[in-house]
């Protein structure tokens, strides 16, 4: 009997080893270990055995069963793992296919420049001041030391609506209004961005509408050296640490002394090229110490208070910084242009 069980064990194990599917394995289980299987059948014949033999054979039969079961379990795990692997293999995808696009827009390049400048100055304690685009002649000109008939008004041909109302030609009236609101008291640190308008024919370098961003600091002890230091921080931050700055005396009716600031040309590194007209320098902004007439008109005592102001054109900055060659691109809004400014630097 033992012999028969041994045979069955060897036979079953061989079949298990050869099984190639879970179903096959299950069939083997039913065939050998089931109630109608050969082992059960062998055990049925145990009645004929002696009392001494019965437990021995019984124990042996259980060993055989256990051995077959263990083998089956191992084989089952093996087959299951193979099935998982096969399934995973069948699920392989081409990871180089493009992903599902996430729709993304971005800032207009001028907004990008303006916010960058705003943030820089906010970090230095400035607030952002805004004012009307349609302005009174008084705030646009007179309060800025440009009385009627002043020759410098020649420099800014304007869009008038009535004799006293016009589209502002610069954002400086925001400065005049802010100073006036302070009624001659306390210090001011503002940055004023916004749209301005001039009677220019639109071409590659002119636009009848464009942006400006200006800054104004008023206080009891503001020095020209402070202006110089502030402008240097600005230039290095916006154009890069490696850029040189140069201040030149200039003239604006609302500042005295007046300044124009150049930065060293990025294209040629200051050696001279067509972009910088062979000077190595690129003009970037106008600035100066607030003219005493402007302070006085706004109600500040110019013997006690002084200040500095600066102004620049985001279009020009964007053109220089990104190499844009035509100012009209900013206002035609070709999406192939707009989407180039998505990257956060």
Partner 1 sequence: MLVSYKWLQDYVDLSGITAKELAEKITKSGIEVEGVEVLNEGIKGVVVGYVLEREQHPNADKLNKCLVDIGAGEPVQIICGAPNVDKGQKVAVATVGAKLPGGVKIKRAKLRGEVSNGMICSLQELGMEGKIVPKEYAEGIFVFPQDAEVGTDAIALLNRNDEILELSLTPNRADCLSMLGVAYEVAAILGREVKLPETKLEPVAEKASDYVKVVVEAPEDNPLYVAKIIKNVKIGPSPLWMQTRLMNAGIRPHNNVVDITNYILLEYGQPLHAFDYDRFGSKEILVRRAKEGEKFTTLDDVERSLTADHLVITNGTEPVALAGVMGGANSEVTSDTTTVLLEAALFNGFTVRKASKDHGLRSEASARFEKGVDPNRVRAAGDRAAYLMAKYAGGEVLTGAAEVDTLTIEPAVIPITLEKINRVLGTDLDMNQVKEIFARLQFEASVDGDTITVTAPTRRGDIKIEEDLIEEVARLYGYDNIPKTLPVGSSTPGKLTAYQKKRRVVRQYLEGAGLYQAVTYSLTSEEKAAQYALEKREAIHLAMPMSEDRSVLRLSILPQLLEVVKYNSARQNDSLAVYETGNVFLANGTDALPEEREHLAAAITGLWTNHSWQGEKKPVDFFVLKGILEGLFAKLGLTDKVEYVQAQVDGLHPGRTAEILLNSKRIGFVGQVHPSVQKDLDLKDTYVFELSLKAVLEEETDDLQYVPIPRFPSITRDIALVANKETVSDTLKEIILEAGAPLLKEANVFDLYEGDKMEEGKKSIAFSLKYADPERTLTDEEVTKVHEQVLAALKEQAGAVLRG
Looking at residues 227 to 286 of the shown chain, list those that interact with partner 1 (rule: CB under 8 A).
Answer: 228-230, 232-233, 246-251, 256-260, 277
Closest CB to partner 1 among residues 198, 266: 198
Determine which residue in the list 152, 267, 268, 273 makes contact with partner 1, applying CB under 8 A.
Answer: 152
Stretch that binds partner 1, among 30-38, 59-67, 72-80, 92-100 (CB under 8 A): 92-100
Nearest to 42 by CA among 28, 32, 27, 51: 32
Minimal distance in Å, beta carbon 312 to partner 1?
Answer: 17
Peptide bond into 339 cis (omega under 30): no
256 labelled ligand-binding: yes
- Distance CA(221)–CA(227), nearest Å, equals 12
Closest CB 40 distance from partner 1, rounded Å? 51
Identified binder of partner 1 from the candidate list 5, 25, 64, 126, rule CB under 8 A = 126
97 binds partner 1 (CB under 8 A): yes
CB of 305 to partner 1, least distance (A): 12
Among 6, 160, 181, 323, binds partner 1 (CB under 8 A): 160
95, with CB counted inside 10 A (0-12, 13-18, 19+), is exposed
Written as six digits, the tokens of 41 are 């059948």
- Of 4-12, 14-22, 68-76, 329-337, the window that binds partner 1 (rule: CB under 8 A) is 329-337
Q: Give the residue, chosen from 69, 76, 106, 156, that forms a contact with partner 1 under the rule CB under 8 A.
A: 106
The encoded tokens of residue 344 equal 């956060």
What is the total residue count of the chain? 345
Q: Could you tell me if 181 and 302 are in contact, meaning their C-beta atoms sit under 8 angstroms apart?
A: no
Give residues 192-211 in contact with partner 1 (rule: CB under 8 A).
195, 197, 199, 201, 208-209
Neighbours of 190 (CB within 10 A): 20
Kindly list the distances between the CA atom of residue 69 and the CA atoms of 30, 32, 246, 269, 337, in Å, as whole numbers in the listed order: 11, 10, 90, 83, 72
Give dist(CA 55, CA 61) in Å, integer.
10
> What is the separation of C-alpha 135 from the centre of its chain, rounded to a whole number of angstroms?
36
Which single residue is written with the structure tokens 């910088």? 276
- Residue among 36, 100, 274, 344 that touches partner 1 (CB under 8 A): 100
Residue choice 101, 241, 242, 345 for contact with partner 1 (CB under 8 A): 101
Q: Left (φ > 0), alpha (ψ -120 to 50) or beta: where does 49 sit?
A: beta
Task: Pick one of 27, 116, 226, 296: the residue that binds partner 1 (CB under 8 A).
Answer: 226
Distance in Å from the first CA to the final CA of the chain: 86
Helix axes 224-239, 314-322, angle to 10 degrees: 40
- What is the token pair recorded at 30? 């039913």
Determine, following the binding rule CB under 8 A, whether residue 343 of this chain makes contact with partner 1.
no
Cβ 275 vs Cβ 258: under 8 Å: no
- The nearest distance, CB 66 to partner 1, in angstroms, is 48
Least distance to partner 1, CB of residue 128, Å: 6
Contact characters 287-326, partner 1, x per CB under 8 A: --x-xx-------------x--------------------
229 vs 215: CA distance, rounded Å: 14
Least distance in Å: CB of 73 to partner 1?
41
Closer CB to partner 1, 34 or 240, in the complex: 240
Residue positions in the annotated binding site for Mg(2+)?
256
Residue positions in the annotated binding site?
256
């Amino acid at each position: 009997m033992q012999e028969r069980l041994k045979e069955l064990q060897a036979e079953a194990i061989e079949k298990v080893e050869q099984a190639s599917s879970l179903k096959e394995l299950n069939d083997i289980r039913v065939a050998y270990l089931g109630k109608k299987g050969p082992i059960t059948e062998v055990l049925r014949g145990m009645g004929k055995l002696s009392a001494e033999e019965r437990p021995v054979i019984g124990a042996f039969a259980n060993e055989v069963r256990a051995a077959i079961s263990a083998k089956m379990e191992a084989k089952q795990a093996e087959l299951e793992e193979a099935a998982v692997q096969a399934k995973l293999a069948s699920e392989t995808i081409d990871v180089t296919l493009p992903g599902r696009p996430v729709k993304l827009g971005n800032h207009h390049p001028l907004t990008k420049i303006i916010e960058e400048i705003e943030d820089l100055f906010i970090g230095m304690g400035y607030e952002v001041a805004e004012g009307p685009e349609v302005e009174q002649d008084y705030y646009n000109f007179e309060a800025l030391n440009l009385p009627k008939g002043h020759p410098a008004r020649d420099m800014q041909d304007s869009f008038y609506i009535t004799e006293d109302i016009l589209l502002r030609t610069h954002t400086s009236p925001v400065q005049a209004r802010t100073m006036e609101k302070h009624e001659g008291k306390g210090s001011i640190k503002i940055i004023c961005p916004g749209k301005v308008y001039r009677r220019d024919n639109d071409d590659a370098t002119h636009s009848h509408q464009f942006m400006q961003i200006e800054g104004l600091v008023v206080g009891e002890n503001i020095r020209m050296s402070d202006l110089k230091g502030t402008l240097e921080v600005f230039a290095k931050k916006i154009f890069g640490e490696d850029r040189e700055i140069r201040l030149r005396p200039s003239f604006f009716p609302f500042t005295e002394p007046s300044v124009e600031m150049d930065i060293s040309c990025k294209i040629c590194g200051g050696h001279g090229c067509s972009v910088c007209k062979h000077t190595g320098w690129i003009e970037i902004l106008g600035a100066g110490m607030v003219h005493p007439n402007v302070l006085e008109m706004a109600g500040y005592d110019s013997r006690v208070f002084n200040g500095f102001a600066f102004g620049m054109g985001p279009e020009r900055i964007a053109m220089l910084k990104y190499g844009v060659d035509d100012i009209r691109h900013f206002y035609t809004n070709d999406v192939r242009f707009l989407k180039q400014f998505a990257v956060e630097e």
